[in-house]
Amino acid sequence: GKGNHAHFMMKEIAEQPAVIGDTLQAFLNPLKRQIELPPLPIDLAKISQLTIVACGTAYLAGFVAKYWLERIARLPVELDIASEFRYREAPMPKDGATLVISQSGETADTLAALKYAKAQGQKVLAVLNVPESTIGRESDVVLHTLAGPEIGVASTKAFTTQLVVLAALAIATARARGAIDAQREAELSTALTEVPARAAEVLNHDARLKEIALKVAECRDVLFLGRGTSYPIALEGALKLKEISYIHAEGYAAGEMKHGPIALIDDNVPVIVVAPSDDLFEKTASNLQEVRARGGRVIFFSDKAGIARLGDAAMAAIELPTVDPFVAPILYAIPVQLLAYHAAVAKGTDVDQPRNLAKSVTVE
């Protein structure tokens, strides 16, 4: 059941501190402050490339993973949505591996992409919430997200637990390739260990996010901006908002604004800026100022330092916990979910069963 919640989606958002913790326990040894993965069919030290394929929100988890694996593990990553990948006949390196990500394990395009990769001689790793699924049976190893059943059509806790598993994979890959030392692994592991408590703090902003969502619900178009790992979170924010509230939303890399979308900015288009304090913060800050200069109304998701620096330029700001930038995308996923949820409730849509959508897309 939904417990005290009006919708499964809200119940599943609220479960995130617990299920992130459950998933971490399966992959992280908190005493040794080390990642522990099950035996893999590939040698992470030796692969030349990882190809990540998925659909929708699972694809956006893969997008964050690409940034992580390239940055901390120095592993080249190819990323595509499954419906394109399955038909584009990409050459795949013999010493590469493929990673598929799926909540249901039944998504037809992701399964077809997996079969293509296998036919190309690739070993396949799968990040799945339902290991006893078709994709689970076809894969060489399953890394299990312990999100529990996800009923709401919009993926929430499956996404953040996918990020947790992918973060663990990125750290293990970095270690195997000698790209990080034991001390950095311990720091990253500690940052991950703190995510459940920080996620619970983020949920405390629910009432304020609801107020902001009531304003967003009156708009026809919304933009989400971010850089680095905040870019896929911006895309996820836009995906969540459009699928459940039917408000047109787009996610953009903040630096790409001036190549077109800035023409859309006026005081009717709220711009949600996802910007934790990280090495790209100042770049995003100048994009935020460009939006302001054109009369755009900014909703700013940042931390204490970011809000001290730029909060005055925003119509509204949400202060998220200060964390190692590595784990920030896991936490910043939560306010974009809550914003979409409350906007959808305000619009009176069927939040758990949005029109035209199915929980598991078993046809292409």
Q: How far is CA 280 from the centre of its chain?
A: 18
Our answer to whether residue 32 is catalytic in this structure is no
Number of residues counted as binding ligand F6R (CB under 6 A): 15
Please tell me whether residue 360 binds ligand F6R under the rule CB under 6 A.
yes
Q: Which stretch binds ligand F6R (CB under 6 A): 101-109, 112-120, 256-264, 312-320?
A: 101-109
Q: Quickly tell me which residue has 């399953």 as its tokens.
A: 142
Q: Which is nearer to ligand F6R, 244 or 299 (CB)?
A: 244
Q: Using CB under 6 A, which of 83, 139, 155, 230 touches ligand F6R? A: 155
Q: Using CB under 6 A, which of 83, 104, 161, 189 touches ligand F6R? A: 104
Find the residue with minimal CB distance to ligand F6R. Answer: 56
Q: Which stretch binds ligand F6R (CB under 6 A): 6-14, 63-71, 103-111, 280-288?
A: 103-111
From CA 84, how far away is CA 306, in angstroms rounded? 37
Please tell me whether residue 56 binds ligand F6R under the rule CB under 6 A.
yes
Q: Which is nearer to ligand F6R, 23 or 102 (CB)?
A: 102
User: What type of residue sits at position 293?
Assistant: A
Q: Which is nearer to ligand F6R, 103 or 139 (CB)?
A: 103
Alpha helices (H) along the chain: 8-14, 16-27, 56-73, 82-88, 108-119, 134-138, 157-176, 182-193, 195-203, 206-216, 230-245, 281-293, 304-310, 328-347
Q: Which is nearer to ligand F6R, 56 or 196 (CB)?
A: 56
Strands ordered across the beta sheet of 141-144: 77-81, 50-54, 97-102, 123-128, 141-144
Please tell me whether residue 107 binds ligand F6R under the rule CB under 6 A.
yes
Q: Using CB under 6 A, which of 154, 202, 254, 291 touches ligand F6R? A: 154
Going by C-beta distance under 8 Å and a sequence separation of 6 or more, which residues neighbour residue 65?
A: 52, 77, 99, 101, 163, 166, 169, 170
Quick note: the x/- pattern for ligand F6R over 238-257, rule CB under 6 A, is -x---x--------------
8 Å CB contact between 157 and 173: no
Catalytic pick among 118, 242, 283, 359: 359
From CA 328, how far away is CA 220, in angstroms rounded? 29
8 Å CB contact between 212 and 339: yes
Q: Using CB under 6 A, which of 16, 23, 83, 102 touches ligand F6R? A: 102
Please tell me whether residue 58 binds ligand F6R under the rule CB under 6 A.
yes
Please tell me whether residue 57 binds ligand F6R under the rule CB under 6 A.
yes
From CA 228, how far away is CA 220, in angstroms rounded? 27
Please tell me whether residue 110 binds ligand F6R under the rule CB under 6 A.
yes
Token readout for 218 is 């009156």
8 Å CB contact between 157 and 148: yes
Quick note: the x/- pattern for ligand F6R over 61-100, rule CB under 6 A, is ----------------------------------------
| Euclidean distance between the first and the last CA atom of the chain, given in angstroms as a whole number | 31
- Give catalytic residues, as residue numbers: 359
Write out the residues near ligand F6R by the rule CB under 6 A. Answer: 55-58, 102-104, 107, 110, 154-155, 239, 243, 360-361
